[in-house]
Structure 1
Amino acid sequence: MSTQTSKPEAGQSRLQQPDLVSYYKQDKLCSASQLAPEVLLEIFHHFPRQLSVPWDGIDYPAFSAWSLATVCRTWHNVAMAYLYRSVCITTAKSAQLFYQTLVKQRFIRSLVKALSLPDHGNLLIPSSIVAKLFIRIINMIDSLDRLYSPVGYLQGDFWRIDKTRLPVLLIALGRHSRLEHLSLVGNSYTVSGLTNQLMTFRNLRTLGISRFRFMEHVDPRSGPLLPLLEKIIITEDFFPVNLVDWMLTLPRLQTLELFSTPIPTPIPKILSCGKLRHLSIWWSYTLIDCELQWFANCSKFHTLEVTPDILSDYVAVFPLSLKVLRICCDRFNITHLGPLQRYAARKPSIKDILFRFLNWTPRKDYRKQILQIFNDSDVKVSFEMVPCAESSEFSGPGPKSELMSSQDGRQVDQRSLPGRHFVRVAGAG
């Protein structure tokens, strides 16, 4: 096939999805060199992805993305940069293959800006080999902006730890100084010595910590701070009480996200002091041991993100000064109308409510009932449907989700949202 396409003129609208699909369906034996770079990139924008885990931001795209990639043998440079910008590695085998790709095709090292490595639950080879392999991969890449990584430990087996072993980051000293997003996964044991290593990444904007028990208190006067840190994501098991005093000194910290993280009592001061503008709390058992009466006094909260069960239990103490409320639902945890009616009756000053439906699409009449609750107010109600694509071993680019706004009642294709795009590492190169 000889598919001739021209570069869109200034002001010309972007190609619609049916037109993009037709490029692929006309002849699957075409090569990427026969498509304009703009067309190729537009095609990749529309491939579906499997829903990511919220705290690591990893997408798992559909098999169809790499069916096309297989027949596109001659890549445009712009497409290569687009595909390899973010790499998601899900198994030890794919880590080995990706390492081989970095060795053979050195130019890829400068393209990768985001990297996700699997934690120990997915690994099938000896942990000492895994440690060395991950270290090589991380430090072969020229400059990372985002990293999701397990943490290694000195001495003995890579994943086992006792009080005599210190956790170590897998990043060579002096590498990736521009790192902005760092997510680290532990193994639910007590750790010490890690915080001093974290303080060296002075360009961090987002820090994610999962399954860590921090032993030492961090004295912000004893070492360099993270002056640009804006968001902390805490996942699973333990709220880092020992880090609260340090959090209070962070000049730009405004966002805290808690996933399956019990809130201890007494309430950590970072939650109740008024410093935070954005708070996310996922899954109700995070609140087993605490009450949220302090919520009502948090007048500086701008955005609150919760699940429906938290909405049902604590809507009476949600701050009236909220500007944005996000409610994340799935087919097993839906938002009931009663709590929404009680919240609307309190006459909050809220401007936007966003419902994110994960892996399912609610009935039209259900959405209409929600809209009717806020029909007499100035609240803008939006519905975001996040589909789950077919499962595969691949990692590739994905599309944006659908968004329906209450202002005009139309379905809008939310293509302008920033997305994460990941490259297939099994067989890459």
Structure 2
Amino acid sequence: MSFDPNPKTRELLARLGAFMEAHVYPNEERYAREVADGDRWQPVPLIEELKGKARAAGLWNLFLPDSDLGAGLTNLEYAPLCETMGRVLWAPEVFNCSAPDTGNMEVLVRYGTEAQKRDWLAPLLEGRIRSCFAMTEPAVASSDATNIESAIRRDGDDYVINGRKWWSSGANDPRCKLFIFMGKTDPDHPDRHRQQSMIIVPRETPGVTVLRHLPVFGYDDAPHGHGEVLFQNVRVPASNMLLGEGRGFEIAQGRLGPGRIHHCMRLIGQAERALEKMCQRTKSRVAFGRPVADQTVTLERIANARIMIDQTRLLVLNAAHMMDTVGNKAAAKEIAMIKVAAPNMACQVIDWAIQAHGGGGVSDDFGLAKAYAAARTLRLADGPDEVHRNQIGRLELKQYN
């Protein structure tokens, strides 16, 4: 099986790479200045400016396999594009390809009614609004989604929602107009995977309160951020239910498969960028009479970084291929494998790059500290390493029954 990009992907890669060189890499310092100036929780002018350029260049909504609403790419075709965008943490938003909006759009494409698509999917695809996925809860171990305690109770033509969520990415963003909320409609159902449902909650609904933003290793990730959100007697129409009562776990599995591929490819982009910075830094710095790049420990780390990045990329491309050919369920082991491999690889490569930069590596001058914080977070987000390893082990043992 060859994972070389096909002509369609190569053409898009060339255009995307040219866009990154012309508009993204030269503006990294401008982005940092604009986020730091004034109210950090307002949209960044640079991003809004570049969105128009990306859309005009035909580099918009590149995800969405099996849908004519995106670029018509499979997961395998999208993967190298996602890696390229991931080289700069904020770049995916420029192309309307950032989390959690991509996952929420996929949910609406797959499971939404025509009215839900009209009201919420259309403005998301146009980049006019942003969204939030509200699943994790502070009171329970949310690595087991069946633990979720939030309640979704039917009351006539409405549902009434109560619960507290956190690490709800995008909740603090003023452009966030909807939450996709996961809670229990039938906590006593004998099948614990049929207790949960997902429902659309408009951001401005009475009873929705964003309590605070949650920093990640001190980074607030403004203006997007991660929030703790309280839902108190939030009433929404019954028509806001996604797919039907008891289908929430099913939707979550459908949503998280592609999302994990996207996270892993972006992490490979971050690792590649870190390795580039490490090579450039060590070639330009002299210690003990010779370039740092000539030190054996540096050569060993550079070599190991290259091996680890390429190994992980092949794992991710294989998982993407399997998702396209046999589906998410059959590719469950491969998806779990990359979700463990990619964040651990990125953490190690970025850590070596930090070490090569000396004191500068832990500053904000080179972007490595924030990249490390983001990579380390992804050992928890979309399922912690431990859960994925357990799943991989069980699926491996299944062959010997």
What TM-score, normalized by structure 2, do the two folds share? 0.23
Structure with bigger helix share is 2
Structure with bigger strand share is 1
Greater RCO between the two (CA within 8 Å, min separation 6)? 1
